[in-house]
Structure 1
Amino acid sequence: MIELKNVSKVYQQKKRRIEAVKEVSLTIEKGEIFGVVGYSGAGKSTLIRMINFLEPPTTGEISINGQNLKELNKKELLLTRRKIGMIFQGYNLLSTATVYENIAKPLKLEGVSKEVIAKRVDKYLDLVGLTDRKDNYPAQLSGGQRQRVAIARALAHEPEILLSDEATSALDPETTESILALLTKINQELGITIFLITHEIDVVQRICDRVAVMEDGKIVEAGPVIDLFTRPEEETTKRFIGANDGYNVPEDVLAAYKGTGRLVQLQFIGDDATEPVLAKVAKDFPLCPNILSGNIGYLKEKRHGQLLVQFAGGTEQDFQAAKEYIKSQGVIIEDISGDLGTGSSVR
């Protein structure tokens, strides 16, 4: 669906050469939600603007459905862009136009008939839940409602791809959740491919199928969301997802377990997140599991539970046997005893 091959973007500011994006290669499959996450200045905004050629790459190729955008003439590129909707952090709504007019105006400029415009505006206002707000002006709407108008406007072109440029970063947590639920609905019901950039790891965790971590213009790690959250390989990824933030266990408590060889992190995925694995360990092995901290959340639609556990009693052989049993139950287990110390964080 979307393919980037060794894409780079270089800006020249007087005598200064700025490499905003460096040799990025990505493939986004049709119908998936793909996220790019990174801190400010990582190159995310430049990257997303290159996908619809608002920022042509300095080098490399960008293809949509196998068509290299660089080879298109102006008319062909315009037609291709109509298949790519975009939503922004700042909404970009006309303050002097009603909700209806904000959605209809771009369609009028394309020469779409009044009848079709009316049907599309009504259809997508209903989808985003703002049918009763069609005659309001942006100033009469909340931030979340304005973003919904912007989404309806992007959908009115009936695109195959929806680009989201930090669409939730200006919203409060509750409104963010509602917008993410809406994007998921759009993806599932309309089959639209969504490519989003964000600096909010919760956004990726909540709705993305796959994710790429970006730093200093480069993709440092990419893969399924579950893999990156449960088995991050790069330090940048670990830092971004909070893998080294610990479990809010007091330092003196952590220090007490230093060198015990019996402190582990357990990660439960999907249905395993509700299985009584530790209860069975306590019953079948001469060990006493001591839960120090834990949490449970979701990665897309799968449960993801994490526990910091100390095993007391038994021999080293008993401990190793219990670890093998836990692994056999589909639970990810990592011995982190050697990573502890006063002031240290754990994952």
Structure 2
Amino acid sequence: MIELKNVSKTYVQKKRQIEAVKPVSLTINKGEIFGVVGYSGAGKSTLIRMVNFLEPPTTGDVLVNGKNLNQLSKKELLLARRKIGMIFQGYNLLSTATVYDNIAKPLKLEGLSADVIKERVDKYLTLVGLTDRKDNYPAQLSGGQRQRVAIARALAHEPEILLSDEATSALDPETTESILELLLKINQELGITIFLITHEIDVVTRICDRVAVMEEGAVIEEGPVIDVFTRPKSPTTKRFIGANESYNVPEDVLAEAKATGRLLNLQFIGEKATTPILSQVSKDYPIAANILSGNISYLKEKPHGHLLVQLEGGSEAEFQAAKAYIASQGVFIEEVK
């Protein structure tokens, strides 16, 4: 669906070259939600704007449905962009136009008939839940409602791809959740591929299938969300997602636990997150399992459990046997040294 082949972007300012994006290669598959996450200045916005040539790459190729955008004429590029919708953090709505007209005007410029325009505007206002607001102006709407208008406007061109440039970063948590639910609905019901960038880790864990982590213009880690978030490789990824051996347990408690037992970081995915595995360990081995810290969150729709556990008692052989049993239940284990 989308292939980025060694794309890079370099700006020249006052005779100084600024490498905003270093050579990046990514493939976004049809029908998936792919996220790019990173701190401010990592190059995320520049990267996503290269997908529809709002920022033509300095080097490399952008392929959408097998078409190399580098090789298209201006007219061909315009037609290709119509299949790539985009939503922004700032909504980009016309303040003097009603909700209906904000969606309808780009369709008029496309040359569509009045009947088709009305059909599409009504259809996508219904999808985003704003049929009763079509005669309102943007100033009369909340931030979440304005973002829904922007989403409806992007969908009205009936794109195959939807780009999201920090679309939820200006919204409160409750509104963010409602927008993420809407994006999931769009992906699942319309089959639209979504490519989003964000600095909010919860956005990625809530809806993304795969993720890439960016730092200083480069992709430093990439893969399925479950893999990247349960077994992060780079220090930046670990810091970004909050992977921390202490789980905010007080240092004196950690020191005492290490002195009297062995500490394990455990991660449970899916149904294992609610399975009483540690209870079984205490039954089958002469080992006490003490939970020092833990939580359950979600990676898309799968429960993801984190536990910091002290195993106390038993011989070295019994400890290793208990670890082997835990691992055999599909639990990721990392011993805290």
8 A contact 1:85–1:159 mirrored in 2: yes
Q: CA deviation at 1:258?
A: 3.3
Within 5 Å, give how 1:312-331 maps onto structure 2: 312-331=312-331
Once the two structures are superposed, residues 147-189 of structure 1 have per-residue CA deviations (whole angstroms, 9 ceiling, x without a partner) of 0000000000000000000000000000000000000000000
**Equivalent residue runs for 1:221-232 within 5 Å:** 221-232=221-232
Q: Answer yes or no: is 1:94 the counterpart of 2:87.
A: no
Q: Deviations for 1:269-307, whole angstroms, at most 9, x for unmatched residues?
A: 001111110010010000010000100010011110011
User: Which stretches in structure 1 are left out of the alignment for 5+ residues?
Assistant: 339-347
- The CA deviation at 1:67 is 0.7
| Superimposed CA distance per residue, residues 225-254 of structure 1 (whole angstroms, 9 cap, x where no aligned partner) | 000011111111111111127422111111
What pairs with 1:10-29 in structure 2 (closer than 5 Å)?
A: 10-29=10-29
Q: TM-score, normalised by structure 2?
A: 0.99
Separation in structure 2 between the aligned mates of residue 122 and residue 316 of structure 1, nearest angstrom: 68
Aligned to 2:139: 139
Equivalent residues of 2:36, 2:211 under 8 A apart: yes
What do residues 177-208 of structure 1 show as CA deviations (whole Å, max 9, x unaligned)?
00000000000000000000000000000000
Partner residue of 2:253? 253
Counterpart position of 2:309: 309
Partner of 2:233: 233
Mapped partners of 1:44, 1:297: distance in 2: 25
The aligned runs of 1:53-202 (5 Å cut-off) are 53-202=53-202
Deviations 1:47-100 (A, max 9, x none): 010000011000000000111100000110000000000000000000110000
Any stretches of 5+ residues in structure 2 without a counterpart?
none
Q: Which amino acid aligns with 1:220?
A: I
User: Counterparts of 1:23 and 1:322 in 2: how far apart (Å)?
Assistant: 45
**8 Å CA contact retained: 2:212, 2:223:** yes
Q: Which residue identity is paired with 1:47? A: L
Structure-1 separation of matches of 2:26 and 2:67: 15
Tell me, what secondary structure is at the counterpart of 1:167? Answer: coil
Question: Partner letter of residue 311 of structure 2?
Answer: F
Aligned partner of 1:341 in structure 2 is: none
Aligned to 1:286: 286
Partner Cα separation in structure 1 for residue 128 and residue 36 of structure 2: 24
Q: Hey, what's the Cα distance between the residues in 2 that align with 1:13 and 1:246? A: 44
Look up the equivalent residue of 1:320 and give its one-letter code.
Answer: Q
| 1:35 alignment counterpart | 35
| Residue 107 of structure 1: how far off its partner (Å) | 0.3
- 1:201/1:241 contact within 8 Å kept: yes
After TM superposition, the runs of 4+ consecutive aligned structure 1 residues lying more than 4 A away are none
Give the letter aligned to residue 335 of structure 1.
E
- SS where residue 9 of structure 2 aligns? strand
TM-score by length of 1: 0.96
Question: Is the 1:261–1:335 Cα contact (8 Å) retained in structure 2?
Answer: no
One-letter identity of the residue aligned with 2:178: S
State the Cα deviation string for residues 89-119 of structure 1 (Å, max 9, x = none). 0000001100000000000011111000000
* Aligned match of 1:205: 205
- Counterpart amino acid of 2:164? S
- The superposition leaves residues 119-147 of structure 1 with CA deviations (integer Å, 9 ceiling, x where unpaired) of 00000000000010000000110000000
3-state secondary structure, aligned to 2:85: strand
What's 1:343 paired with? none
CA RMSD of aligned residues (A): 0.9
Deviation at 1:259, TM superposition (A): 5.2
Contact 1:210 1:222 in 2 (8 A): yes
Shift of the alpha carbon at 1:260? 5.0
CA apart distance, 1:264? 0.2
**Partners of 1:5 and 1:25 within 8 A in 2:** yes
**Would you say the 8 A contact 2:261–2:312 is kept in 1?**
no
Amino acid in structure 2 at the alignment position of 1:43:
G
- What is the identity, as a one-letter code, of the residue corresponding to 2:255? A
Tell me which residue corresponds to 1:344: none
Query: For the structure 1 residues 98 and 205, does the alpha-carbon distance in structure 2 shift closer, same or farther, using more than 3 Å as the test?
Result: same
Give the letter aligned to residue 272 of structure 1. K
What does residue 8 of structure 1 align with? 8
Q: Partner amino acid for 2:42?
A: A
Q: Is the 8 A contact 2:245 2:265 kept in 1?
A: no
Separation in structure 2 between the aligned mates of residue 58 and residue 17 of structure 1, nearest angstrom: 12
The separation in 1 between residues aligned to 2:29 and 2:9, in whole angstroms, is: 23
Structure 2 equivalent of residue 272 of structure 1 = 272
- Deviations along 1:312-345, one digit per CA (max 9) or x if unpaired, are 1111111100000001111111111x1xxxxxxx
